[in-house]
Structure 1
Amino acid sequence: MKKIGSFLVMLVLFSFLLSGCYYFSAKKEMRNADKLINELKAAGGETLAPYEYCSAGDFFVVSQIEFNEKDFKASKQFAERSKSAAEAGLTKAKKK
């Protein structure tokens, strides 16, 4: 009985740690995506790379919604997509 109790405690702690990891990684990705979106805007991304600019912004909004709903894994994934779109937009804006 004691082994089962300790196993359950370890399982609960592990799940909390795992969810905490997603929290911090999602927060970090969101910061990076926000920074890149601001850089894209400063580089004239609204006119030079409108598709990438809108995509990056929309993915970032969805990332924020997922984060507020405590779905940190989905939030991180949408922040990564936002960051990717912003990077593509920056590349496109710098070529023009």
Structure 2
Amino acid sequence: MSLQTYWENRLEAEYHAQIEEAERYEAELEAEKSRIDEAAKNGDELMIEAINDAVGALSDDDLELQWLAFGSGAWDKLSEFRDKAIEVVAKRNLKNEYGNYN
């Protein structure tokens, strides 16, 4: 096996490992988002607070006034911001395992 072939095989293996890691991360991120959403819907105040904090960090000035809606059970309202906030919380939760993976 030539050095070039060895190098090409190594690069290909690293590429496939990165793809597998990205797929694993995406699967875990989706599972974590579902877990956070379900916990918040079931009244987990820590999750609701984490989502509210993320909404405040993501939102426009006028949306910041509406952060209480999430804590009061208005799950269908502002769902786009809630989903983004849940993703922020999920990424934060997975950061210890994956670092700043995106």
TM class by shorter-chain length? Answer: 0.5 to 0.7
RCO higher in 1 or 2 (8 Å CA, sep ≥ 6)? 1
Consecutive unaligned residues of structure 2, counting only runs of 5 or more, are 52-85
Q: Which residue of 2 aligns with 1:5?
A: 4
Q: Which residue of 2 aligns with 1:69?
A: none
- Number of equivalences: 64
Output the CA distance in 1 between the equivalents of 2:99 and 2:50: 16
Change (3 A) 1:59 1:29: same
> What is the identity percentage for the equivalent residue pairs of Structure 1 and Structure 2?
8
| Contact 1:63–1:75 (8 Å) recurs in 2 | no
Q: Is 1:62 matched up with 2:92?
A: yes
Deviation of 1:40 after TM superposition, in Å, equals: 0.4
Deviation of 1:60 after TM superposition, in Å, equals: 1.8
Output the CA distance in 2 between the equivalents of 1:30 and 1:23: 10
Consecutive unaligned residues of structure 1, counting only runs of 5 or more, are 67-71, 77-96
Q: Which residue of 2 aligns with 1:74?
A: 99
Deviation string for 1:28-83 (max 9, x for gaps)?
A: 0000000000100110012xxx2xx256966524368x7xxxxx94357xxxxxxx
Change (3 A) 1:63 1:9: farther
